[in-house]
């Protein structure tokens, strides 16, 4: 595992798969709201191998072995991660053309970056993204927060984060704040012009199919994949199937762009 220091002083944990360069497309993995480098498990390695591409996996500020939150994040934390942190990490590691592979909050960050960046990615794979806040998501986060100390979640997260309580509190505090129901990234998604592969499980406890359907309504080059019976982490629940489908789609889209 490696660590880099950004201009704002944040130390960012990262892991490379192969050797990213400024010429070769690189898969860049953006984790969920309680995720980290280690919580991706072997999905990045399997997808990179299937695509024949290098990869970059990193823990955002506040997560994993990166600098813990201080102060807690604000309502715009996903926009900040897309606008400031992601470009800084890519530049520091030497990543050129990127394919963003995001899960949950990470998928939202990938979509914001694709819609706003002057150097947009080659493509976005968005698994269980959030475009807007749904009651089902708030209810699930509230239930998770209520059981943080009694369900074993604190201990499980402690194996992956420097300060599990601060990581969890930063994430849940934003989602459960009074101003967050108005949060949306629809304006950014409407400006996306690169290919998007949007994926959602039918039993996702944090969002409905309306999330990915809205991407298709707003972004002109979108493919949808609905996974029956799958919950919020399709890359862990049906890894082999997802690796096959996503790698096939990516190989096809990247070949068209050459």
pTM for the whole structure = 0.97
DSSP state of 242: H
Would you tell me how many other CB atoms lie within 10 Å of the CB of residue 96? Answer: 14
Residues 54 and 86: beta-carbon distance below 8 Å = no
Name the E strands within 80-138: 98-103, 123-127
**CATH class of segment(s) 2-257:** alpha beta
Q: What is the pLDDT along the chain (258 residues), one digit of tens a residue?
A: 799 999 999 999 999 999 998 889 999 999 999 999 999 999 999 999 999 999 999 999 999 999 999 999 999 999 999 999 999 999 999 999 999 999 999 999 999 999 999 889 999 999 999 999 999 999 999 999 999 999 999 999 999 999 999 999 999 999 999 999 999 999 999 999 999 999 999 999 999 999 999 999 999 999 999 999 999 999 999 999 999 999 999 999 998 876
Bridge partners of 142?
none
Residues 68 and 62: beta-carbon distance below 8 Å = yes
């Amino acid at each position: 595992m490696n660590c880099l220091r950004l201009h704002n002083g944040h130390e960012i944990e990262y892991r490379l798969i192969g050797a990213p360069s400024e010429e070769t497309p690189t898969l860049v993995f953006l984790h969920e709201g309680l995720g980290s480098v280690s919580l991706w498990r072997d999905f990045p390695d399997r997808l990179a191998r299937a695509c024949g591409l290098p990869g970059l996996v990193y823990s955002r500020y506040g997560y994993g072995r990166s600098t813990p939150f201080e102060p807690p994040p604000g309502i715009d934390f996903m926009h900040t991660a897309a606008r400031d942190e992601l470009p800084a990490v890519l530049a520091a590691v030497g990543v050129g053309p990127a394919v963003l592979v995001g899960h949950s909050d990470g998928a939202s960050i990938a979509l914001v970056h694709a819609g706003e960046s002057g150097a947009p990615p080659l493509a976005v794979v968005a698994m269980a993204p959030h475009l807007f806040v749904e009651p089902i998501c708030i209810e699930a986060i509230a239930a998770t927060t209520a059981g943080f100390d009694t369900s074993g979640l604190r201990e499980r997260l402690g194996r992956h984060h420097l300060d599990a309580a601060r990581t969890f509190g930063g994430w849940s505090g934003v989602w459960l704040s009074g101003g967050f129901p108005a949060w949306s990234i629809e304006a950014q998604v409407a400006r996306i012009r690169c290919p998007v592969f949007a994926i959602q499980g039918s039993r996702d406890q944090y969002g409905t199919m309306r999330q990915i359907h809205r991407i298709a309504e707003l972004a002109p080059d979108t493919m949808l994949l609905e996974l029956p019976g799958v919950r919020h982490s399709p890359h862990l629940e049906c890894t082999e199937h997802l690796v096959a489908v996503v790698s096939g789609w990516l190989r096809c889209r990247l070949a068209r762009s050459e």
